[in-house]
Each structure stands twice: as structure tokens, then as C-alpha cells.
């Protein structure tokens, strides 16, 4: 039986519409409550408001303390034998500066031209609140939920989720489920809803080459003193060939071929490459020439130089042999690479090919993560989106950027689906962040339909 045609679900849809004004009012309250994790502004107050809204929805929420800001948690587990979905979201927001670029105050949400403006409205308050509103509608309409539900709202996503892995491991018994479902981020194109199935991982290192103990006159010392920039250029040149193939021994050992479903999804992406690279001023993608766009982002790791600093960089000429050169490198990793493994291999490479260069690991890195496009629950998710948005979603097997998705897929061993309820114009992290009002109902209906669909698996 297709989703959305049961009498129960019809009642839920009617309730969603009946609660529409109150849902909007609650969301505006949530946006009005600052919760800037980076600056520790209003974070606990916002967690308290989330507790209130979850309670109003019919759950019995509580705080889960972490080494940082607390997580908000609620569960409803009254249909044993039915699947359990874990809704993940975050209640913290980015800092709101530069304030003078906002047309309305960031924590005084305002509706203009069909969009709600306010810091955090899209990232992530309207999106995760859609799940809470769907739960409320189900409980109001039927007195029950069709499946078991857990809600986990993090308070540190905007500072890089530094305690998420630790907390998920710590509360792993509590958080077990059949799938994790996240609504976050914008979509690429307003015409298509999207499901993302995974993310690239990340390793960030710094290379440091040292020459003389101070900058030297290149006339007096040129030819005598080694130059650390040349040392660095030679080291870098051992790491990547002119086709952007990474030359570190074993770097590709654990790269997993896309599954057939992922392959098909990659080949089917309705993405205009020429238009996209034209916007960044390019006419060609990086070598190799024959590699499709999707493979570059979803199947291949990268070794990117994010910065090279050495010697004089000002106007005109200065004739020195610099004392130091520093290079920052980020590596985007694909399933099933691991930042620890890659760190080891890159360290061995540098020790062997550039022993004079110091290598330092920055940050912990992120583990790449994926859920098979073929996973049976993916079809349930697609159906729910079709109910909510009226269109079949595009499958994105892997997102190029890095998120702590491995907390779900690796630490908990669960399938994880990232479904954005947002649109391309929402300006996450920027002034005048916004969210289209008509996407509130679409998101709430999608979440409600997901519960309905999961009940029939």
C-alpha cells in the first residue's frame, strides 16, 4: 500500500494543517532563542526550550550531558517489533556577525516574501523542528506513533561536533536504532529534493621545512644556504603526479568501488558541469580529463594544498632566502579509507622521500561514511520525500565535504540518510539566513510520511 493513503495518515495530514499556525509560532520562538555554541550564548536556554517543545509534542525528553554543550534526547518506544528511527539534528547556530549586513535582527525572526529570516532558521532549527512537529501531529491525531522514535539534538554541530563521537560511543545502547535520519543543509537545485548517503572523510596535516635560522640575503648566501621553499617543492612533487594521482604508497588501498546502485546514481546526476565550473571561472576540470564529475567528488580522495607560506609575499621585490616554509594540506577521504591509516602512510612517505620535512597532524580528522544506495530503507525514505515534496529525490551517493556521519554508520553500525528540507537560497552561516515558509509543511509531511512508511517495512 503506498504511503500516505492510510486513514491514520490522512488524519495526520489534517492535523499538520490544523496545527500549522502553532507550529510556525513554536518555530519562531525557537529561532528567537540564541544558541551560539562558539560563543556560549544561550545554548542551555535553547536546550531548555527544546525540552519544552518535545514535551509539548508528547515525549518525555531529557538532557544528555557531554564534555561540552549538552545534547537533548527523547524517545518513544511503545511499538515493540516495529522499526526504530533516530532523528538527529542540532539546536546550536553559527555566530550572527557581521550584524550590519542583516536586514532584520538575527534573533528577531521576520517573515518577508514567503521566507523566514533569522540566524539558525535553516541550519538547523526549521529542519529538525519538522521532525518534532510530525511527531506531535501523529500523537495528536492517533494517540500513538506507527514506529519507535528517538530524537537526538546536538549542541555543538557548529563548532565541529567535537564530542559527538565520544558521546555516541558512550550512549550507544541508548541510541541504537534501525536507521538515522538527518535533515540538514541546503539542496543543490531547487527543482530536486535530494537524499545523501555518505560523506568524504578528512585528514589535515601541516608540512614544515626549515632552512637557515633567519632570512638571509640571497646575494651573500645564494648557492650556499639551502632554501626551505625548494625543499618543500621537492617534497610536494613526490606526493602527486600531473594527473592528480596521489603517489603515497598504499593511499588507494582501501578505496571502495562505488556499489552498482551508487554507480548508477552517479551516472544519473542531473548536474550541469560546464555551468558549475563556469561560475568559478574555469573551462575545464582538473586532470585527468576523462574523469566524470561525480567520480571526482564521490569516488576519489584528494590531496589538496590549502596554503603554502614562505618568504616574502608583499609587493615588489625582496631578495631573501627564507628561513621557513609551511604547507597546509587537507585530504578528502572516501570509503573505506580512515584518517589514522592515511596519516600513517603519509608519514611514512614524508620520512622516506623528504626526511628534512616535519609533518604534523592538525585536528582529529573525520572518518568517511556511506550507506549503500541499495539499502532497503532508502526506498522508504524516497517514498516519504515524494509524499512531502511531490517529487522523487535525486540520490547523492556521497557528499564531497566532511561531516561526522561515521558516528552513525561506523560507531553505531546503522544506515544513515541525510535529507535536506531546505533550498539553495538559505544562506547558511551567512547574514540573512532564511527558510522558505512553504518548506515547513513539506518537511513536516515528509517526516510524518517516513514514520508511516517505516511502519509498513
Q: Of 165-204, which residues contact a second copy (CB under 8 A)?
A: 200, 202, 204
Range in contact with a second copy (rule: CB under 8 A) among 5-13, 41-49, 83-91, 212-220: 212-220
Instruction: Indicate whether 254 belongs to the interface with a second copy (CB under 8 A).
Output: no
Instruction: Indicate whether 282 belongs to the interface with a second copy (CB under 8 A).
Output: yes
Minimum distance of a second copy from residue 183's CB (angstroms): 19
Q: What is the secondary structure of 390-454 as a DSSP string?
A: SSPPEEES-BSS--TTHIIIIIS---EEEE----TT--TTSTT-EEETHHHHHHHHHHHHHHHHH
Instruction: Indicate whether 161 belongs to the interface with a second copy (CB under 8 A).
Output: no
Instruction: Give which of 418, 399, 402, 323 is closest to 367, Cα–Cα.
Output: 402
Residue from the set 26, 50, 330, 405 that interacts with a second copy by CB under 8 A: 330
Instruction: Indicate whether 105 belongs to the interface with a second copy (CB under 8 A).
Output: no
Instruction: Indicate whether 309 belongs to the interface with a second copy (CB under 8 A).
Output: yes
Size of residue set near a second copy by CB under 8 A? 71
Instruction: Indicate whether 234 belongs to the interface with a second copy (CB under 8 A).
Output: yes
Instruction: Indicate whether 261 belongs to the interface with a second copy (CB under 8 A).
Output: no
Instruction: Indicate whether 226 belongs to the interface with a second copy (CB under 8 A).
Output: yes
Handedness of CA 247, 251, 253, 257 (dihedral sign): negative
Minimum distance of a second copy from residue 65's CB (angstroms): 27
Give the burial class of 113: count Cβ atoms within 10 A of its Cβ; 0-12 exposed, 13-18 middle, 19 or more buried.
exposed
Range in contact with a second copy (rule: CB under 8 A) among 44-52, 103-111, 319-327, 415-423: 319-327
Nearest residue (CB) to a second copy, 15 versus 402: 402
Instruction: Give which of 279, 278, 276 is closest to 294, Cα–Cα.
Output: 276
- Supply φ then ψ for residue 309, to 5 degrees: -130, 125
Residue from the set 29, 44, 112, 220 that interacts with a second copy by CB under 8 A: 220
Q: Please give the grid coordinates belonging to residue 49.
A: 526550550
Instruction: Indicate whether 430 belongs to the interface with a second copy (CB under 8 A).
Output: no
Nearest residue (CB) to a second copy, 332 versus 338: 332
Instruction: Indicate whether 259 belongs to the interface with a second copy (CB under 8 A).
Output: no
Residue from the set 95, 105, 212, 372 that interacts with a second copy by CB under 8 A: 212
How far, in Å, are 83, 103, 117, 423 from residue 436 at the CA level? 31, 17, 9, 8
Q: Which residues pair with 207 in a beta bridge?
A: 327, 359
DSSP alpha helices (H): ranges in 100-223? 126-142, 164-170, 172-175, 218-221
Range in contact with a second copy (rule: CB under 8 A) among 67-75, 210-218, 410-418, 442-450: 210-218
Minimum distance of a second copy from residue 311's CB (angstroms): 4
Cell numbers 621557513 label which residue?
324
Instruction: Give which of 436, 428, 437, 433 is closest to 24, Cα–Cα.
Output: 437
Instruction: Indicate whether 312 belongs to the interface with a second copy (CB under 8 A).
Output: yes
Instruction: Indicate whether 332 belongs to the interface with a second copy (CB under 8 A).
Output: yes
Range in contact with a second copy (rule: CB under 8 A) among 18-26, 28-36, 139-147, 297-305: 297-305
Instruction: Indicate whether 244 belongs to the interface with a second copy (CB under 8 A).
Output: yes
Nearest residue (CB) to a second copy, 15 versus 428: 428
Q: State the Cα–Cα distance between residues 214 and 220, nearest whole angstrom.
A: 13
Sheet holding 115-117, edge to edge: 110-112, 115-117, 434-436
Site for a second copy in 356-375 (CB under 8 A): 362-363
Q: Are 137 and 12 contacting, i.e. CB atoms less than 8 angstroms apart?
A: yes
Instruction: Indicate whether 342 belongs to the interface with a second copy (CB under 8 A).
Output: no
Q: State the Cα–Cα distance between residues 421 and 124, nearest whole angstrom.
A: 10
Amino acid at each position: 500500500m503506498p504511503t500516505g493513503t492510510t486513514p491514520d495518515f490522512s488524519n495526520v495530514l489534517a492535523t499538520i494543517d490544523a496545527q500549522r499556525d502553532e507550529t510556525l509560532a513554536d518555530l519562531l520562538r525557537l529561532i528567537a532563542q540564541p544558541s551560539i555554541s562558539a560563543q556560549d550564548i544561550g545554548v542551555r536556554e535553547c536546550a531548555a526550550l527544546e525540552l519544552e517543545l518535545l514535551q509539548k509534542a508528547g515525549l518525555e525528553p531529557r538532557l544528555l550531558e557531554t564534555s561540552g554543550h549538552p545534547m537533548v534526547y527523547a524517545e518513544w518506544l511503545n511499538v515493540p517489533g516495529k522499526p526504530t528511527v533516530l532523528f538527529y539534528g542540532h539546536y546550536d547556530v553559527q555566530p550572527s556577525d557581521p550584524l550590519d549586513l542583516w536586514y532584520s535582527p538575527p534573533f528577531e525572526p521576520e517573515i518577508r516574501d514567503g521566507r523566514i529570516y533569522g540566524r539558525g532558521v535553516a541550519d538547523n532549527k526549521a529542519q529538525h523542528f519538522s521532525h518534532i512537529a510530525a511527531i506531535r501531529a501523529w500523537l495528536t491525531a492517533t494517540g500513538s506513533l506507527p514506529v519507535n522514535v528517538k530524537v537526538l539534538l546536538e549542541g555543538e554541530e557548529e563548532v565541529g561536533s567535537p564530542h559527538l563521537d565520544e558521546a555516541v560511543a558512550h550512549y550507544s545502547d541508548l541510541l541504537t536504532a534501525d536507521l538515522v535520519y538527518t535533515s540538514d543543509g541546503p539542496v543543490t537545485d531547487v527543482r530536486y529534493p535530494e537524499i545523501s548517503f555518505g560523506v568524504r572523510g578528512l585528514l589535515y596535516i601541516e608540512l614544515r621545512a626549515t632552512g637557515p635560522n633567519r632570512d638571509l640575503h640571497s646575494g651573500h648566501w645564494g648557492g650556499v644556504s639551502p632554501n626551505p621553499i625548494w625543499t618543500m617543492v621537492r617534497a610536494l612533487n613526490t606526493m602527486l603526479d600531473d594527473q592528480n594521482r596521489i603517489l603515497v604508497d598504499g593511499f588507494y588501498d582501501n578505496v571502495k568501488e562505488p556499489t552498482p546502485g551508487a554507480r548508477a546514481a552517479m551516472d544519473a546526476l542531473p548536474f550541469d558541469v560546464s555551468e558549475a565550473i563556469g561560475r568559478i571561472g574555469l573551462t575545464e576540470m582538473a586532470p585527468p580529463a576523462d574523469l566524470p564529475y561525480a567520480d571526482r567528488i564521490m569516488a576519489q580522495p584528494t590531496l589538496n594544498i590549502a596554503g603554502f607560506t614562505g618568504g616574502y609575499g608583499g609587493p615588489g621585490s625582496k631578495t631573501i632566502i627564507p628561513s621557513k616554509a609551511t604547507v597546509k594540506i587537507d585530504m578528502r577521504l572516501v570509503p573505506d579509507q580512515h584518517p589514522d591509516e592515511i596519516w600513517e602512510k603519509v608519514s611514512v612517505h614524508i620520512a622516506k622521500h623528504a626526511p628534512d620535512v616535519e609533518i604534523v597532524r592538525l585536528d582529529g580528522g573525520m572518518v568517511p561514511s556511506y550507506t549503500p544506495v541499495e539499502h532497503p530503507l532508502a526506498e522508504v525514505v524516497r517514498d516519504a520525500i515524494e509524499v512531502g515534496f511531490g517529487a522523487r529525490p535525486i540520490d547523492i551517493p556521497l557528499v564531497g565535504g566532511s561531516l561526522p556521519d561515521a558516528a552513525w554508520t561506523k560507531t553505531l553500525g546503522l544506515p544513515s540518510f541525510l535529507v535536506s528540507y531546505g533550498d539553495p537560497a538559505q544562506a547558511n552561516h551567512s547574514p540573512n539566513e532564511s527558510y522558505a515558509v512553504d518548506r515547513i509543511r513539506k518537511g513536516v509531511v515528509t517526516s510524518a510520511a517516513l514514520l508511516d512508511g517505516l511502519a509498513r517495512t
